[in-house]
Structure 1
């Protein structure tokens, strides 16, 4: 595969083909790193890169697979996350299979419908769940770092809210009376699994950014 053409301002590649994640990560890093400029972060999708096979068995392994593939293709530092929802009564599933729980990768509506159907007769006190994310940074010399983020809550019986993506409309974080999809984006990023993971990773990014 030929090396993607990079804008000279780009310092970091986000290994994702999910446009929602690109927007969310730019907001998270802008908030976490004073002076961060959104144009420093490009995405694998924006560079026309194919998605690697995610055959890891943990969130951390899959995040590293994605980031390493981008570093190999571009020679630039790469970040990636792998995340999902872990439902208590399902023994932690869907977990790493969250994005393809209904069989088709990234079909949010089908994934939500299936999970709601599976839990339709589960009482509120047994609908505990957690959003979990692993945020990975891989450097061109092969050095890598991984940080984890988690937010506990419970699953609702029906969708609530139009914001967010993935399982946000059916997840109510602890301490809130609304779903994640009903939160203001900035508030969501402050409490989210992805926000927590990337804020923990942020100090590792400082040496590679022109701050």
Structure 2
């Protein structure tokens, strides 16, 4: 099997940037949904990261007739019964814990709500989860997962990441994800671990 191009099924610029970094030096051209001539919308309405990722991979792969990588990822906070979970990208807008107005952007609104709910919590344990699905249209697919464990800070720090990175300190570190250099973040992150496993399987298929 020869792979020349892969569509990363996302419009999230931060996520796309990380995928491109992870696929550097592979010789595979990485495309985003914004590179596609026609856009379709796929709603992430499932109850698990895996179900959402599979749905996106199949819908986009079958529509564009191109190999697809789709990911669903999020933050699970122990003291909040693993919320925001699959609602991570739109946590600010759901009823759990009350809705928050978007003032600057959705990331900051999500963080504002999270820190408000965590204000008096002693247990700060959390983990990032990434489930990545590779789908070769009408032939086969597989999935991998990655986790990054850590804890929630009491205020945002750092400008290098996106999403909840400014309020998440990985185990063994004193800096937040948003304070780490991209290479270091990719080495330890949930997404980096899931993509590393995926790359191993792709290499076997391509040989």
TM-score by length of 1: 0.86
Residue range with higher mean Cα deviation, 57-66 or 135-144? 135-144
Please give the alpha-carbon distance, in whole angstroms, between the structure 1 residues aligned to 2:153 and 2:7: 35
Residue range with higher mean Cα deviation, 9-18 or 188-197? 9-18
Q: Aligned residue for 2:163?
A: 166
Are 2:54 and 1:64 equivalent residues in the alignment? yes
State the 1:142 CA deviation.
4.2
Are 2:13 and 1:19 equivalent residues in the alignment? yes
Are 2:170 and 1:185 equivalent residues in the alignment? no
Please give the alpha-carbon distance, in whole angstroms, between the structure 1 residues aligned to 2:61 and 2:191: 21
Cα-to-partner distance string for 1:32-53 (whole Å, 9 max, x where unaligned)? xxx4136x11011321523301
Candidates 65, 68, 90, aligned match of 1:75: 65
Alignment of 1:28-177 (within 5 A): 28-30=22-24, 35-37=25-27, 40-47=29-36, 48-103=38-93, 107-123=106-122, 126-177=123-174
Please give the alpha-carbon distance, in whole angstroms, between the structure 2 residues aligned to 1:190 and 1:44: 25
Cα-to-partner distance string for 1:123-164 (whole Å, 9 max, x where unaligned)? 2xx100000000100111242211110010000000000111
Gaps spanning 5+ residues in structure 2: where?
Answer: 95-101
Please give the alpha-carbon distance, in whole angstroms, between the structure 1 residues aligned to 2:127 and 2:134: 23
Aligned pairs, number = 195
- Distance change in 2, residues 1:204/1:49 (3 Å): farther
Residue range with higher mean Cα deviation, 147-156 or 61-70? 61-70
SS of the residue aligned with 2:156?
coil
Gaps spanning 5+ residues in structure 1: where?
Answer: 1-8
Cα-to-partner distance string for 1:186-207 (whole Å, 9 max, x where unaligned)? 0000000000001111133337
SS of the residue aligned with 1:176?
coil
Alignment of 1:1-16 (within 5 A): 11-16=5-10
The answer to whether the Cα contact below 8 Å between 1:14 and 1:42 also exists between their aligned partners in 2 is: yes
The answer to whether the Cα contact below 8 Å between 1:102 and 1:114 also exists between their aligned partners in 2 is: yes
SS of the residue aligned with 1:122?
coil
Please give the alpha-carbon distance, in whole angstroms, between the structure 2 residues aligned to 1:49 and 1:203: 30
